[in-house]
Amino acid sequence: MSEQVTAGDIAAAFLERCGVEHAFGVISIHNMPILDAIARRNKIRFIPARSEGGAVNMADASARVRGGLGVAISSTGTAAGNACGAVVEAITAGTPLLHLTGQIESEHLDRNKGFIHEAPDQVGMLGAAGKGAFRVWSPDTMLGTLREAVRLAFTPPMGPVSVEIPIDVQRGLTAMPLSVDPLPVLTPQPDQASIEALADALVDKKRVMLWLGGGARHATDPVARLANLGFGVVTSVQGRGVLPGDDQQSLGAFNLQPAAEEFYSTCDAMLVVGSRLRSNETLTYKLKLPDPLYQIDADPRAEGRAYPVDMFICGDAAISLEHLADRLKGRFTPDKGFTRDIQGAREGAEAGMRKALGPYNEVVDAVLDAVPRDFVWVRDITLSNTIWGNRLPPLDGPRDGVHALGGGIGQGLPMGIGAALGVQAEGRKTLILAGDGGFAVTLGELATAKQENADIAILLMNDGGYGVIKNIADAHYGGRRAYVDILGPDWGVLCDSLGIPHWRVDTAGDISGVLKRAFEVDGPALIEVDMSSIGEFAQAFAGPPVKTAPDEK
């Protein structure tokens, strides 16, 4: 007779076969059978976060830097609701993530009896926030449901999938299946005739740009081949590092600056790969891109969604670009001055950005000087990231950068913890850039960082509130700065209470040395930058850039 185990054991065994090394969550009465199984089997490290949203952020970032499945575990009802904001971030980023949540006893489900931890239509709530949601109805259907959830999470366009499991199902007994392997995921194959047509359309072009998004992060090899053929590369913020940011063919993520737009006007084609051309990176879809414009995406619904395109190919980015490079090898000859012009545009775009920094140029230079080449760069939504952190320092690899893609503040700290735990066994350091306002949103996770010895250095830009909202109030609300000044803790005292090293810096020139000291710490360290002492940015950032008077074709 087959061994009888709990459905919680099946869940734990399945996660192990999915290659999961870390799971993040908050233990509660309605998820204990799963967490008990994880603890007994002792093959997955469980990270007890201080909030369900923080746990999902950690799982999201861990998956982004490692390239595998992120796993978060929450309880039911309010706890599942707490996870939803971070689930929205994960779907915005296209992160394959499995969110397991408990549920009340099956006999009381969907009866609106006011059962403790019950939420009306929890599956509907979670499905609306993410890519999908399922309920496990019995111990015998645990494995099949989890398999389908993970298959869906990895099927392009990738995203988070939630599974709710009633507590009686979790602890119910069933036979251990002979195999608990995940299902294969079908990779969208491009039509070869379409690839041939695209190659024919590009073969006589001389100044071709690739615009790479997060959907091309696994396409480093064919992108390098095309760059070697003479293609230029510009990326979205999510696509940074697909080609190393300081490669001679790379414009980096300087994708919407005036110098970049002027450069685009000299190009004779652009191929967009795995990018949604999001509003905040295209001047709300008014950035002038090269003509003709071609598109490759694994999602057939992406065709022409943001910009009309001359040709669309549905297919995996890496496979499609590999075939394209094969067909252009020995046939494509770029303009001899194209590489020089790419670098000129990059230098012009960076110079324009630095004009806005004023005294914070020294902060940028300090970071450039201090960070090791293989560091992981995690950023919250804060003025400093929006103005410069999304573009500098250059990143070597596509999984070296993590940021709050959906624009929600406060996610930088838990993301930094998840990223660090994913890479620190390799000896890599993680640097978090955050503002004091956003940092306060998930402040409790600082204790998680200490307890788990997350190898993070935090660069906390302290301006005493919501800096970007102050600028928006000045620009659009007559200078009425309502509700933007918030009380924060004494960061030194807070860090001391947790045994976390803390430095307060009021001179930009001191940051490089302090950063280097922070990187020597085994575990978390916090550097507080007193922005009031350093001064104002030369140009106030008051929201995503837009074109107020777009040129007409």
Residue 548 pLDDT grade (very low, low, confident, very high; cuts 50, 70, 90):
low
| Residue 41 clears pLDDT 60, i.e. is over it | yes
The mean of the pLDDT values for the chain is 96
Residue-wise pLDDT for 419-465, tens only, equals 999 999 999 999 999 999 999 999 999 999 999 999 999 999 999 99
Assess whether pLDDT exceeds 80 at residue 2: no
**Using 50, 70 and 90 to split pLDDT, how confident is the model at 116?**
confident
Q: Topology of domain 192-349, per CATH?
A: Rossmann fold (3.40.50)
When pLDDT is cut at 50, 70 and 90, the band that residue 468 belongs to is: confident
Q: Which helix (H) or strand (E) holds 15?
A: helix 7-17
Residue 117, pLDDT > 90, answer no
Every domain of the chain and the residues it spans: 4-175, 192-349, 356-534
Please check whether the two domains, 4-175 and 356-534, share a CATH topology: yes
* pLDDT (tens digit per residue) in 167-198: 999 999 999 999 999 999 999 999 999 999 99
| SS3 annotation, 78-90 | HHHHHHHHHHHHH
The beta strand positions in 486-532, using DSSP E, are: 502-505, 525-530
- pLDDT above 90: percentage of residues in the chain: 92
Is pLDDT larger for residue 471 or for residue 417?
A: 417
Mean pLDDT within 292-300 = 98
Which parts of 26-104 are beta strand (E)?
A: 45-48, 70-74, 97-103
Which of the 8 DSSP states describes residue 387? I
Match 């499995």 to its residue by tokens: 98
Q: pLDDT by residue (tens digit) across 249-262?
A: 999 999 999 999 99
pLDDT (mean) for 377-395: 95
373 vs 547, higher pLDDT: 373
pLDDT confidence of residue 112: 84
For 345, half-sphere exposure in the C-beta direction (CA atoms, 13 angstrom radius) is 30
**Whole-angstrom Cα distance, residue 216 to residue 8?**
36
Q: Note the pTM of the prediction, 2 decimals.
A: 0.96
Measured N-to-C along each axis, helices 52-66 and 78-93 cross at an angle, to the nearest 10 degrees, of 30
Query: What pLDDT is stored for residue 498 in this prediction?
Result: 98
Is the predicted pLDDT of residue 94 greater than 60, yes or no? yes
Residue 550 predicted with pLDDT over 80: no
Q: Does 212 have pLDDT greater than 90? A: yes
What does the longest C-alpha to C-alpha distance in the chain come to? Answer: 76
Can you say how many angstroms the Cα of residue 497 is from the centroid of all Cα atoms in its chain? 31
Q: What class does CATH assign to 4-175?
A: alpha beta
Q: Give the CATH number of domain 356-534.
A: 3.40.50.970
* Contact between 21 and 375 (Cβ < 8 Å): no
